[in-house]
Amino acid sequence: MKKIILALDVDNVDKAKQIIRETYHFIDIYKVGPILFIQCGKEIIEFINGIGKKVFLDLKLYDIPMTVQRAVESAQKLDIFSLTVHSSGGKKMLQAATSVYNHPKIWAVSVLTSTRTRTTPATVIKRALLAKSCGLDGVISSPLEIDLIKKECGKNFNVITPGIRLNNNNHDDQIRVATPLYAINKGADFIVMGRSILNSKNYKMVLHNIYQTIQDN
Ligand code: C5P
């Protein structure tokens, strides 16, 4: 599967569909987060599934165990590929999520990549190990912690990294960032990219250049 997950961070279903059509050949998994989901959740998920692509539903669930379990059941009915929960929701909440029969891949947010303070590698590892012990499939983490997580949790435990920036663009609100090449070389299973692509004038060219950089190294 292609390594870049494209974050559809737009609040308009037509715009989202246009982005998907333009990036179709470069992307297998589209990330639907709260901005788009609140506007047109089911419609965009059915559209993405209907054209043979996969949905990563990034709602970062954090609630009482029963609510999270029922939210996962609800997501499962929409036939999505993966979804996110917050690892800080704790063991009972994470176990409730994975108790759902035939659930999509569940990835836990370890620490947000916009966070600067109170983030130590030890915190990230503790949360990743907790997620693994509760049966989750992987974690969303900063590119700076990929190798550590793979070392502690094993290579089959997915690491998905946002906070990806091309060399020459700014960080926006992301703090713990790295380039696509760095993240892939460190062992990321997928990289999540939004603004670096969506703010460019030519999505295809940016995506083409990133894949070339990744493959040439
Ligand atoms: O635009 P940018 O490339 O920064 O987008 C990153 C995407 O990844 C956003 O949709 C954001 O919600 C998401 N994300 C993140 N940090 C996490 C988890 C998800 O930036 N820990």
Instruction: Print pLDDT tens along the chain (217 aa).
Output: 999 999 999 999 999 999 999 999 999 999 999 999 999 999 999 999 999 999 999 999 999 999 999 999 999 999 999 999 999 999 999 999 999 999 999 999 987 666 666 678 888 999 999 999 999 999 999 998 999 999 999 999 999 999 999 975 567 777 778 999 999 999 999 999 999 999 999 999 999 999 999 987 6
Cα separation of 13 and 55, whole Å? 15
Identify which of 194, 41, 180 has the alpha carbon closest to the alpha carbon of residue 114: 194
| CATH number where 129 lies | 3.20.20.70
Q: Other C-beta atoms within 10 Å of 143: how many?
A: 25
Any atom of ligand 1 within 6 Å of the Cβ of 195: yes
Give the list of residues 6+ apart from residue 125 with CB closer than 8 angstroms, or none.
Answer: 145, 148, 149, 152
- pLDDT digits over 86-137, tens only? 999 999 999 999 999 999 999 999 876 666 666 788 889 999 999 999 999 9
What pLDDT is recorded for position 97?
A: 98
Best mutation site among 5, 6, 9, 203 for ligand 1 pocket (most ligand atoms within 8 Å of CB): 9
Q: H or E segment at 59? A: strand 54-61
Atom in ligand 1 nearest the alpha carbon of residue 164: 3
Q: pTM, whole model, 2 decimals?
A: 0.94
Parallel, antiparallel or unpaired: strands 138-140 and 54-61: unpaired
Cα separation of 85 and 3, whole Å? 21
CA 154 to ligand 1 centroid distance, Å: 24
Atom in ligand 1 nearest the alpha carbon of residue 196: 3
CA 166 to ligand 1 centroid distance, Å: 14
Q: Is 92 a catalytic residue?
A: no
DSSP code for 24: T
Domain span at 188:
4-216
Atom in ligand 1 nearest the alpha carbon of residue 193: 3
Cα separation of 73 and 67, whole Å? 10
Number of domains in the chain: 1
